[in-house]
A = this chain, B = another copy of it.
Amino acid sequence: MKLRARLLDIKAGGRRIAILDEETASLVGVHSSDRVEITHKNKHLIAIVNLASDFQHNYVGVYQEVSAKLGIRNGEYVEVRPAERPEALNYVQAKIRGERLRKGQVKMIVEEVVERHLSDIEIASFVTALHIHGLSMDEIEALSKAMVETGNTLNLNETPVLDKHSIGGVPGDKTSLLIVPTIAAAGFIIPKTSSRAITSPAGTADRVEVFCPVDLTLEEIRKAVRKTNGCMVWGGALELAPADDIFIQVEYPLAIDPLLLPSIMSKKKAIDATHLVIDIPTGRGAKVKTISGANALAYDFIDLGQRLGIDVQCAVTYGEQPIGRAIGPALEAREALSTIMGNGPADLQEKATSIAGILFEMVGVENGKQTAEKLLKSGKAERKLRQMIEAQGGDPNVKPEDIKLGCKRAEITTEKDGRVLWISNKSLVQIAREAGAPKEKGAGVILKAKLGEQIGKGEPLFEIYAGRSTKLNSALELADRLQPIRLSKKPEERMLMKRVPTRIIQRKAFTPKRQSGRN
C-alpha cells in the first residue's frame, strides 16, 4: 500500500529499518521484525519493520540508509508491501539446529547480512549457534570466500604480496610497526591493514595514527604501496569483508568470536596476500593458553590458507607478558620508533625479526632472521618507516621525543625486593584503559619490571600515563586493587596463586536443635 515517508535525519548504523505504527503494520500485513519492500520511482529495497507506538498512521519512518538509497524526500508517497522471508533464514535456523551448512547456504547468509536483510536479532542468533555448535572447515572456507566475494578487493596486480597478522590478546604488541618496514625495505610488497582497539588499550591502527593518518581509501593505499612497497592503514572503512564488520559488531557485546578464522583470512584474501605469517601469542594470559592449542589453531590457519590459495605459516610466540615495555598508542609508537632506530627492548626486536624472517624464507630469501636483523641495524628499515609515514601524510622526521604523552604521570613502586614471577596481561589492559587508552592516545602504562627481573625495595614496577588527573587516579586505584605485577624471591615463597572462591561464603554457625517449652 501507499504510505507517506517520514525521513528521520539520522543513520541507523547501516541497518535498513522501516518504522510503522501498529495499525499501519496491520494494514500492510506485517508484524514487528518482518520485512517489507519499499518502492519509490523504480528503485526498491528490503527493510526490516520496527513497530513504534504513537507513530503517525499511514506513514513509514525511514532512517538515512533507506531514504538516501531510494532518493525519498520527506512526505513523498512510497509503496510498502510485505517482502518474502529471506531463504537465508532457513539456513540460520538449520545452524541453530546444529546442521552443517553447505557452500551455497553459507553464501546466501553472508549476502543477506551484507544487504542488511537480516536483523541484529537474527545475526546474533546465528553467531551464537556457530559459537555453540562450532564450524566445520568446509563452512569456514565457505564463509571466508563469501565474505571476500561480497566486499571490495585491493587488486594490486603484484605477486608475491606478503602479510602478517596477530590473533591478538597480548598488550604492547607493536611488532607490525617493525615488520612492515623491514619487509618493504627488502623490496617486497606488504599492504598491511589493521583494526583499531575495541577491548585492548591499542590496535595497530591506533599506534600508526600517532605518526600519520591511517584512514586511506583503496586508491590511496595503491598509491602508497606503489611509492614505498607497503602501508599501515586502518581496514575498518575499506569494506574488504563488510559481512565481517557486521558480525564483529554483534560479537562484541557477547564477547564471543566464532568467526576468528574467516574474519582474519577473508581480509587477507581481499588484499590478495600470497604469503602470510599468523602470529599466535601463547601462554597464560594470552588468547591461546597452551602450545598444543596453538598448534591446532595453526593447522586450521594453514588448511584454510591452502583452500584460499594463500601460503600460510604460523609463529607461536611467547605471550605470558606484554611485548616490550610500553602499553598505549603513543607510548607504543614511541617505543617502536626507538626500537627501529636501534634502541629498544630485546623481546620486541627478537619477535619482529623472527616473524619477518619467516616471511623472507617463505619467498625464498635465505637466512631470513639475519636478513631482518641486518635491515634493522643498517637503518634501512627505519628509512622505509619514515618513507611510509610520509606517503601516508605524516612527518617523516618525527623523533621519539616529539611524541606527545599524557601529561599526568605516576609511578608504582614495590614495598619489598624480589624477582618478577607473575605479570597479568589482563590487569595491565584494564589499568591502561582506565587511564584513557586507546581513546586518549597519550595514556597507558610503561613497565619497569618484566618477568624474571630482580627488583629492589622501593624501585618502580610500572608507570601510568594519563591526560587528566581524574583518569590517573582511577587507574591508580585499579592498579592498587589488581596488583598486576607480583614479586617473590623464589617461587616456593608464593605457591598459592589464587583462592577459590575469592569471597568467603558465609555459613550459618551450627546451633544444636533445642526443644522449646513454649509455643
Residues of A within 8 A of B (CB): 8, 10-13, 19, 26-27, 29, 31-34, 50-55, 61, 64, 89, 92-93, 96, 98, 119-125, 127-129, 131-133, 198, 249-250, 252-256, 436, 439
Contacts and interface: CB of A to CB of B under 8 A. Distances in A.
Given A8-B8, A96-B132, A132-B98, A122 B253 contact: yes
B61 A54 contact: no
Contact of A53 (B11, B51, B249): B11
A89 B255 CA distance: 10
A52 B253 CA distance: 17
Contact of A127 (B54, B125, B256): B125
Given A27-B439, A124-B124, 13 more contacts: A10-B55, A11-B52, A13-B50, A13-B53, A32-B252, A96-B131, A120-B120, A121-B123, A125-B128, A125-B256, A128-B132, A129-B132, A132-B133
A52 B121 contact: no
Contacts of A51: 13
A256 B121 CA distance: 12
Given A10-B54, A51-B13, A129-B132, A254 B93 contact: yes
Contacts of A53: 11, 13
Contacts of A31: 198, 252
A152 to B, nearest CB: 18
A54 B50 contact: no
A256 B96 contact: yes
A389 B254 CA distance: 48
24 contacts: A10-B61, A11-B53, A11-B54, A13-B32, A13-B53, A29-B436, A29-B439, A31-B252, A32-B249, A34-B253, A54-B64, A96-B128, A96-B132, A98-B132, A120-B120, A121-B253, A122-B253, A124-B128, A125-B128, A125-B254, A125-B256, A128-B132, A129-B132, A132-B132
Contacts of A439: 26-27, 29
Given A8-B8, A51-B13, A254-B96, A249 B33 contact: yes
A12 B52 contact: yes
Which A-B residue pairs are the 10 nearest by beta carbons? A124-B124, A33-B253, A121-B124, A125-B128, A128-B128, A26-B439, A11-B52, A10-B52, A124-B125, A125-B254
